[in-house]
C-alpha cells in the first residue's frame, strides 16, 4: 500500500501543524498520533455511520487492538450542524470520562470537521483534535485553517471559534468511494482557489478537466495539494480573517444565502458556492474589474465541472439572507470580487442596486440551466 507523499505546513504562531496528503494514510494514523500530538489521554472519533462502515476498520488497524478509540456518531447532513448536536456529543464525551487530556478525531466531511472542531474548542475549555477529512471539499478547505462552528436557523456558521487541529491527514483513497456529485462539489472550491490566488491551478483545471473528473490519482493529488497550499499560505498571513483571509469567501456570500433560503436541502455546499462564484464573477464584470474574456474563461471552467443543480428561491429572500453574511461590518456589505484570474479583492461598498441586479442575473441563469 502506498504511503503519504506530501506534507504541507501551516505555520501560525502558537498553532503550527502539518497537512499530510497522499494515498494509504488511514492505516497509519493510529501509530502516528501519539508521536505527532504528544497526547497520552483517551482518543475519541466523531464520525458518520456511513463513513465508519466504509473506512472504520481500516482506521482502527493503526491502533492497539486492546485500546481502540471510542466512536461517537453524528448523522450526516446540514440539519445536524447545530448546537443540539454539539451538546449531544459533549454529553457523550463526559459520560465516557473524557477529560482535558483526551483527543478528538474528526473523521468525515466538512460538517463532521466543523462540529468536532467546535466541540474540541469548548469541551472543558479546549482539548486537542485531529482532522481526517473524507470528502474532497473538506480536504481542500474546511479541514485547514482552524475555523469551526455550527449553523443557526438564520444563517450558516454564525456560532463558532478558531481552534486549529494538531494535524490533518488527507487520504486520497477515500475519495474513490465518493458519489460523483460530491466529488464535483469539491472541485468548485479548487476552482475558487485558482481564481483568487493561483492562476497556475486555474489553468491546470481548465486544461485537464477530463483527467481530474475521472479522479486520476496524479491529477487529483496535484489539484488538492495546490488548493491546500494556497489556503495554508492565506491562513498563515491572516489567521483571524481580519483582511486577506476574506478572499477565501469568493462565491460564498450568495452561496451561503442560497443554502440558507433552501434550508440546506437543495444543494451541496460546493454546488451553492459554484452558483455564488458565477454571480461574483458577473458582479466583477459589472464593476469593470474583469474583461469579458476573463469572465468567459471562469464561467466555462465552472460549468465544465458541472452540471450545477437548479434551486428555487426568490430574489427578495436571497437579498435578505446576504445581510447576515459574516464579512459585513457596521452595516456595510462586503463582497469578494476578482480583478483578474489569480487575484481577488475585498469590495466594501456593493450597493443594494448592484446586489439586486446580480441576484436577478443569477436566478435568470438558473432558469436557463433548466432549459
Query: Is 164 noted as a catalytic residue in this protein?
Result: no
Give the confidence band of 326 by pLDDT, cuts at 50, 70, 90.
low
pLDDT at residue 166, as a whole number: 95
State the catalytic residue, choosing from 28, 197, 256, 326: 256
182 is catalytic: no
Query: Known catalytic residue: 163?
Result: no
Task: Write down the pLDDT at residue 323.
Answer: 83
125 annotated active-site = yes
Q: How confident is the model at residue 4 (pLDDT cuts 50, 70, 90)?
A: very low
In the set 28, 192, 229, 269, the catalytic residue is: 269
DSSP string, 294-355: HHHHHHHHHHHT-PPPP----HHHHHHHHTT-TT-BTTBPPEEEEEETTEEEEES---HHHH
Which has the closest alpha carbon to 136: 221, 79, 58?
221
What's the CATH fold of domain 180-369? Dehydroquinate synthase-like, alpha domain (1.20.1090)
The answer to whether 123 touches 154, Cβ cutoff 8 Å, is: no
Read off the pLDDT band of 331 (50, 70, 90).
low
- What is the structure's pLDDT at 310? 95
Q: Where are the beta strands (DSSP E) in the chain?
A: 4-10, 17-22, 43-47, 70-73, 103-108, 128-133, 147-152, 155-162, 168-171, 335-340, 343-347
In the predicted structure, residue 201 carries a pLDDT above the cut 80? yes
Q: Which of 147, 163, 164, 297 is catalytic?
A: 147
pLDDT confidence of residue 1: 45
pTM of the model: 0.91
The residues, ordered by sequence, that sit 6+ positions from 266 with a Cβ below 8 Å of its Cβ are: 258, 309, 311, 312
For 161-197, what is each residue's pLDDT tens digit?
999 999 999 999 999 999 999 999 999 999 999 999 9
pLDDT of residue 234: 95
Q: Is 233 a catalytic residue?
A: no
Q: Is 241 a catalytic residue?
A: yes
Average pLDDT, the chain: 93
39 is catalytic: no
- Interval 202-258: pLDDT, tens: 999 999 999 999 999 999 999 999 999 999 999 999 998 889 999 999 999 999 999
Q: What is the average pLDDT across 111-129?
A: 97
Q: Return the domain boundaries, the chain.
A: 4-177, 180-369
Question: Which of 262, 37, 58 minimizes the C-alpha distance to 130?
Answer: 37
CATH architecture of 4-177: 3-Layer(aba) Sandwich (3.40)
- Give me the mean pLDDT over the 117-127 stretch: 97
Whole-number pLDDT of residue 330:
52
231 is catalytic: yes
The residue behind cell 492505516 is 27
Mean pLDDT of 310-336: 82
Q: Cα 274–138–13 angle (5° rounding)?
A: 115
Active site residue 147: yes
Average pLDDT over residues 43-67: 95
Least confident of 16-25, 34-43, 266-275: 34-43
CA distance 149 to 161: 6
Catalytic residue at 269?
Answer: yes
CA angle 132, 239, 26 (to 5 degrees): 10
Amino acid at each position: 500500500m502506498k504511503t503519504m507523499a506530501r506534507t504541507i505546513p501551516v505555520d501560525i504562531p502558537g498553532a503550527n501543524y502539518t497537512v499530510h496528503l497522499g494515498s494509504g494514510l488511514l492505516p497509519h494514523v493510529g501509530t502516528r498520533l501519539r508521536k505527532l500530538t504528544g497526547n497520552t489521554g483517551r482518543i475519541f472519533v466523531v464520525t458518520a455511520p456511513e463513513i465508519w462502515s466504509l473506512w472504520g476498520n481500516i482506521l482502527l488497524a493503526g491502533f492497539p487492538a486492546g485500546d481502540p478509540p471510542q466512536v461517537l456518531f453524528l448523522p450526516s447532513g446540514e440539519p445536524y450542524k447545530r448546537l443540539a448536536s454539539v451538546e449531544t456529543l459533549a454529553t457523550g464525551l463526559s459520560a465516557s470520562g473524557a477529560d482535558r487530556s483526551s483527543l478528538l478525531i474528526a473523521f468525515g466531511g466538512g460538517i463532521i470537521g466543523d462540529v468536532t472542531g467546535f466541540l474540541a474548542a469548548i469541551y472543558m475549555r479546549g482539548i486537542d483534535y485531529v482532522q481526517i477529512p473524507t470528502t474532497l471539499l473538506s480536504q481542500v478547505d474546511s479541514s485547514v485553517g482552524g475555523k469551526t462552528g455550527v449553523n443557526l436557523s438564520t444563517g450558516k456558521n454564525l456560532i463558532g471559534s478558531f481552534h486549529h487541529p494538531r494535524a490533518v491527514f488527507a487520504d486520497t483513497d477515500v475519495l474513490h468511494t465518493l458519489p460523483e456529485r460530491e466529488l464535483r462539489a469539491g472541485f468548485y472550491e479548487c476552482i475558487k482557489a485558482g481564481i483568487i490566488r493561483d492562476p497556475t491551478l486555474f489553468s491546470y483545471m481548465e486544461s485537464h478537466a477530463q483527467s481530474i473528473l475521472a479522479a486520476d490519482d496524479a491529477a487529483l493529488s496535484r489539484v488538492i495539494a495546490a488548493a491546500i497550499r494556497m489556503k495554508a499560505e492565506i491562513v498563515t498571513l491572516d489567521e483571524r480573517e481580519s483582511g486577506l483571509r476574506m478572499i477565501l469567501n469568493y462565491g460564498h456570500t450568495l452561496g451561503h444565502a442560497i443554502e440558507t433560503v433552501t434550508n440546506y436541502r437543495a444543494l451541496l455546499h460546493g454546488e451553492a458556492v459554484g452558483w455564488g462564484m458565477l454571480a461574483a464573477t458577473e458582479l466583477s464584470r459589472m464593476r469593470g474589474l474583469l474583461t469579458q474574456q476573463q469572465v468567459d474563461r471562469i464561467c466555462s471552467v465552472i460549468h465544465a465541472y458541472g452540471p450545477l443543480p437548479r434551486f428555487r428561491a426568490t430574489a427578495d429572500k436571497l437579498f435578505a439572507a446576504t445581510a447576515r453574511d459574516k464579512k459585513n461590518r457596521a452595516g456595510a456589505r462586503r463582497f469578494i470580487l476578482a480583478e483578474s484570474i489569480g487575484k481577488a479583492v475585498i469590495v466594501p461598498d456593493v450597493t443594494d442596486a448592484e446586489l439586486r441586479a446580480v441576484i436577478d442575473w443569477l436566478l435568470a441563469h438558473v432558469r436557463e440551466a433548466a432549459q
